[in-house]
Amino acid sequence: MEKLISEFSIGLFFWQTIIFIALILLLKKFAWKPILDSVNEREQGIKDALLSAEKAREEMASLQSDNELTLKKARVERDTLLKEAREIKQKLIDDAKSEAKNEASKIIAQAKEAIQNEKNSAIVDLKNQMADLSVGIAEKVLQSKMSEDKAQMNLVKELIKDVTLK
Amino acid sequence: MNKQRHLAFTILIFFFGLTIGRSSTSVLEKDKNLKQDVKSEIKEYINHHLKDSHSFSITSYKDEKTGKTVYIELPLPVILYDNGLKFFWSSALKHGKKVVASGGNFYKLEYHDSKIYKTDKDGTITYDSDHHPLNEKPLDFSITKNIATILLVSIMMLLLFVSLAKSFKQNKGISKGMGRFFEPIILYIRDEIAIPNIGEKKYRNYMSFLLTVFFFIWFLNMLGLTPLGVNVTGNIAVTFSLALLTFIITNVTANKNYWGHIFWMPGVPVLIKIILAPIELLGVFIKPFSLLIRLYANIQAGHIVLMSLIGLMFVFQNWVGSSLSFGLAFFISIIEILVALLQAYIFTMLSALYFGFAVAEHDEEH
């Protein structure tokens, strides 16, 4: 310890302190402040750039998702439109078919009715003609048969027989 | 022969083991008691190296013809305060062989402790029983070897970091060249030393001191490992000055909380508060004191070990021992490169820690 104190040089201490303080002040003004400032500026710049890049990325992502959504919607809409169109088409076909069927059955029914009517009138006509004809025939037969008495008698007898049998 | 060995030793430190020098062969013939001589010479050489010097000596040799020691050195200005400023060049002192007359007074350099004493016309220095000079010492403000080195490093740092700042500005905040190397270190001090210890809010005020002190100590430590043979950070006056600045900054910027924790520790019984106050107060001084001793002792010890190992080569005087101590010296000097950085880091780190204590905001009571 004594040796340390005896070795202590006041001159060296004095100069060292003055030079060192001057060095700190000079370096502060001309070196450390500009260096640290520019480093801070650079770091801030990098931070900002990263932030804006992140922002842009997010925007891009949201834009992309928007696009996708729109696309999806469009696809769904297209699908529904197609489906509707198909349904309408089917319905039209079905409607047409059923109408045609109805119409056809109606026509058939009408035709059937007309035929029936014709048939009936024909039958009535035929019946009338038959009655006329049979009356005529009967007249003729009767004219020829009733000329004989005997035959008349036989007929009467026969008729009576039928009556009694009944 | 002694001077030759002296020269060889200097050369060896200079080129670090490239040559063993001419002296080794001639000494082989000498008897054993010369070894003792070598040892004491090495010891003196190391002691001398560890001290500050009034001139920037590079090497010295003995002129064969005149028999005089010739020093190759840069003279430095000597400034004394002894009832007025006295100024002359260190070359006038002739390593303590000449008395310098300046302003009616006479001064002489005492070689063993490298200090200038006021003497009479003949340069008589009287010693006490422990070989300490009794002469009056003028206040010595000379630009010594250490101060010249400090100036050199300061100018180097100014040039380096101001140009770094300029290149930053020109390149829009991107470093170039040397900046690529120093920028990560600056950022490390900010992100790993200043911010974690002092806090995001207040670290800016301390950055200039921390950065300057880190690079100052580191560069001086590294310069101490070069063949220039300077020992600045291993000088107690330099480390005292650095630690004093840490001490002053800590206590000037300290907030109410810091003093509160020293004089009236919150959250403990009154009796313990009274006991703690002097201990804490002592801690205020011990913390920076440990800083100054740590740096001084580490660098001083490194220099002593390294130079002793180099000196061992001359003590052994054989191939095995000398190459062994060469290997060891090489290994230690690599370790010393690490220590140079480590001590700079520790000084900066602890300074930041103390600043952190001084400005800490204790929201919670504990």
The predicted-structure confidence for B179-222, as pLDDT tens digits, reads as follows 888 989 999 999 999 999 998 888 888 999 999 999 999 999 99
* The pLDDT value given to residue A164: 64
With both helix axes pointing from N to C terminus, report the angle between B236-253 and B270-316 in degrees, rounded to the nearest 10.
Answer: 160
End-to-end CA, chain B: 70
Of B335, B343, B216, nearest to B291 by C-alpha is B343
pLDDT band at B18 (very low <50, low <70, confident <90, very high): very low
Q: Which residues numbered 38-97 in A keep a CB inside 8 Å of some CB on B?
A: 38-39, 41-42, 45
Contact B216 A23 (CB under 8 A): yes
Identify which has the larger pLDDT, A148 or B282.
Answer: B282
Does B267 have pLDDT greater than 90? no
Per CB-CB distance under 8 Å, the chain A contacts of B151 are 19
Identify which has the larger pLDDT, B133 or B296.
Answer: B296
How many beta-carbon contacts under 8 Å exist across A and B? 125
The arithmetic mean of pLDDT across residues B34-38, rounded, is 75
Identify which has the larger pLDDT, B137 or B346.
Answer: B346
Q: Which residues numbered 183-202 in B keep a CB inside 8 Å of some CB on A?
A: 183, 186-187, 190
Of B76, B81, B116, nearest to B99 by C-alpha is B116
What's the CA gap between B70 and B94, in Å, rounded?
Answer: 10
- Tens of pLDDT, residue by residue over B43-94, are 888 887 788 888 887 777 777 777 777 777 888 888 888 777 877 887 777 7
Per-residue tens of pLDDT for chain A, all 166 residues: 677 777 788 888 999 999 999 999 999 999 899 888 888 888 898 999 999 999 999 999 999 999 999 999 999 999 999 999 999 999 999 999 999 999 999 999 999 999 999 989 988 988 888 888 888 888 887 777 667 777 777 777 887 887 765 5
Per CB-CB distance under 8 Å, the chain A contacts of B212 are 20, 23-24, 27-28, 32
Positive or negative, the Cα torsion across B328, B333, B334, B340? positive
What's the CA gap between B225 and B233, in Å, rounded?
Answer: 11
Residue of A nearest to B140 (CA): A11
Per CB-CB distance under 8 Å, the chain A contacts of B140 are 9-11
Q: What was the ipTM of the complex prediction?
A: 0.81
Smallest CA–CA distance, residue A32 to chain B, in Å, is 6
Q: Are B3 and B62 in contact (CB under 8 A)?
A: yes
Contact B208 A10 (CB under 8 A): no
Alpha carbon separation from A82 to A76, A89, A102 (Å, rounded): 10, 10, 30
* The pLDDT value given to residue B13: 58
The encoded tokens of residue A133 equal 């004809």
Of B87, B105, B107, B88, nearest to B97 by C-alpha is B107
Q: Are B258 and B356 in contact (CB under 8 A)?
A: no
A50-89 in b/e form (b: 16+ CB < 10 A) is: eeeeeeeeeeeeeeeeeeeeeeeeeeeeeeeeeeeeeeee
The encoded tokens of residue A106 equal 């109606």
Q: Is A123 on the interface with B (CB under 8 A)?
A: no
Report the phi/psi class of residue B83: left, alpha or beta, with left for phi > 0 and alpha for psi in -120 to 50: left
Q: Are A35 and B164 in contact (CB under 8 A)?
A: yes
DSSP conformation class of B92 = G
Q: What is the CA radius of gyration of chain B?
A: 25
Per CB-CB distance under 8 Å, the chain A contacts of B241 are 13, 16-17, 20
Contact A24 B209 (CB under 8 A): yes
What's the CA gap between B170 and B280, in Å, rounded?
Answer: 49
Only one residue has tokens 């508060």, namely B273
What's the CA gap between B47 and B57, in Å, rounded?
Answer: 15
Contact A27 B169 (CB under 8 A): no
The encoded tokens of residue A70 equal 């729109």
The arithmetic mean of pLDDT across residues B135-149, rounded, is 85
Beta bridge partners of B61: B70
CB atoms within 10 A of CB B354: 22
| Residues whose CB is less than 8 angstroms from the CB of residue B128 and which lie 6 or more positions away in sequence, other chains included | B134
Does B17 have pLDDT greater than 70? no
What's the CA gap between B263 and B275, in Å, rounded?
Answer: 10
The arithmetic mean of pLDDT across residues B21-26, rounded, is 41
Residue of B nearest to A42 (CA): B173
* The pLDDT value given to residue B155: 94
pTM flag (> 0.80): no
The arithmetic mean of pLDDT across residues B263-290, rounded, is 87
Alpha carbon separation from B362 to B82, B111, B201, B337, B352 (Å, rounded): 52, 55, 14, 39, 17
Does B19 have pLDDT greater than 70? no
Contact B207 A36 (CB under 8 A): yes
In sequence order, what DSSP letters do the residues of A131-154 get, joined into one string?
Answer: HHHHHHHHHHHHHHHTTSHHHHHH
Mean pLDDT score across all residues of chain B: 82
Identify which has the larger pLDDT, B169 or B290.
Answer: B290
In 3-state terms, chain B is what percent helix, strand and coil (to 5)?
Answer: 60, 10, 25
* The pLDDT value given to residue B277: 87
Of B137, B94, B96, B98, nearest to B114 by C-alpha is B96
* The pLDDT value given to residue B211: 94
